[in-house]
């Protein structure tokens, strides 16, 4: 396990567990967390043996987003300096979305602000039944960042996005589960459910999974025809892979495939 003061990165078999350890501030984001998560995602991209990354928070809460004690000082910065600081968050969100391995958010307690953005950037979202998702920027005179409005507008009705962003109204994990935003809702600690998802990922074909993740991400902005071209090329490449040979043979032989 690698642990800095505010972040822990643990390698457990075929997965990485990245924990925000700023529990005294409900796991508000910190430069240490940015660095730790960024390095973990780089490691996941580089090492074939790593099949997934799990994000969680220490002490029963996922992430409270930006630390207002830090943000209040940004008024003294120039516009360029403020933009550069926000871009650090945006680059981290891009890195989560662009990771070649599936990323799982394990949300205990809840998520707020950029913590919501971080959770929504993940490929899978597991949430505690009582968890709340809050974008209360408006209550302190701020506007959402981290891709929150982009992600939510693609996932839920505009009226609910307005409720969350214009009123700062918390939305429950159960409601988001009903809308398909949350994959798994549970009463026990979410890490256990996240590990079950990671187990399923580890049993699948890594190459195909990476290609599917790229297709899903590209589909948001591509035209129908452009996306079909990407699917064509991806499928043609997959058909020549060892994974496809094993998967098809296993199906025809009525056995479970061994993608390892």
241 closest CA partner among 259, 218, 227: 259
In this prediction, residue 189 carries a pLDDT of: 84
Region 138-165: mean pLDDT is 95
* C-beta atoms surrounding 140 within 10 Å: 11
In this prediction, residue 206 carries a pLDDT of: 95
In this prediction, residue 2 carries a pLDDT of: 60
In this prediction, residue 3 carries a pLDDT of: 59
E strand or H helix that includes residue 86: helix 79-98
pLDDT band at 73 (very low <50, low <70, confident <90, very high): confident
pLDDT tens digit sequence for 16-40 = 999 999 999 999 999 999 999 999 9
Tokens (6 digits) for 166: 């214009």
Q: Which of 70-74, 200-204, 236-240 has the lowest mean pLDDT?
A: 70-74
Region 137-143: mean pLDDT is 91
Q: Which string of b and e fits 22-31 if b means at least 16 CB within 10 Å?
A: beebbbbbbe
Q: Which string of b and e fits 224-235 if b means at least 16 CB within 10 Å?
A: eeeeeeeeeebe
Please state, rounded to an integer, the average pLDDT across all residues of the chain: 94
Q: Which residue bears the tokens 């207002």?
A: 68
- Bridge partner list, 3: 8
pLDDT band at 217 (very low <50, low <70, confident <90, very high): very high
pTM, two decimal places? 0.94
Region 200-218: mean pLDDT is 95
Region 72-95: mean pLDDT is 90
Q: Which of 21-35, 57-71, 186-200, 240-254 has the lowest mean pLDDT?
A: 57-71
Contacts of residue 78, Cβ cutoff 8 Å, sequence gap at least 6: none
51 closest CA partner among 188, 201, 254: 201
Q: Which of 43-52, 69-78, 151-160 has the lowest mean pLDDT?
A: 69-78
Q: Which of 74-88, 104-118, 138-152, 237-251 has the lowest mean pLDDT?
A: 74-88
């Amino acid at each position: 396990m690698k642990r800095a003061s505010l972040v822990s990165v643990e390698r457990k078999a075929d997965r990485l567990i990245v924990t925000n350890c700023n529990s005294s501030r409900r796991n508000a984001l910190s430069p240490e967390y940015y660095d730790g998560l960024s390095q973990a995602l780089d490691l996941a991209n580089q090492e074939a043996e790593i099949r997934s990354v799990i994000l969680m928070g220490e002490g029963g809460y996922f992430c409270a987003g930006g630390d207002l004690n830090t943000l209040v000082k940004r008024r003294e910065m120039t516009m360029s300096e403020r933009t550069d600081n926000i871009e650090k968050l945006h680059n981290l969100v891009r890195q989560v979305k662009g990771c070649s391995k599936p990323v799982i958010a394990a949300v205990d307690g809840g998520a707020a602000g950029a913590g919501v953005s971080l959770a929504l950037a993940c490929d899978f979202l597991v949430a505690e039944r009582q968890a709340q998702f809050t974008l209360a920027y408006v209550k302190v005179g701020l506007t959402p960042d981290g891709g929150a409005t982009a992600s939510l507008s693609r996932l839920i009705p505009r009226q609910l996005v307005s409720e969350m962003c214009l009123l700062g109204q918390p939305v429950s994990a159960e409601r988001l589960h009903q809308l398909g935003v949350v994959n798994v809702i549970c009463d026990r600690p979410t890490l256990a459910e996240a590990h079950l998802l990671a187990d399923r990922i580890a049993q699948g074909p890594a190459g195909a999974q990476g290609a599917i993740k790229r297709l899903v991400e590209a589909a948001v902005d591509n035209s129908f025809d452009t996306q079909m071209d990407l699917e064509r090329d991806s499928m043609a490449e997959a058909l020549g892979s060892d994974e496809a040979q094993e998967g098809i043979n296993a199906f025809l032989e009525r056995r479970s495939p061994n993608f390892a």
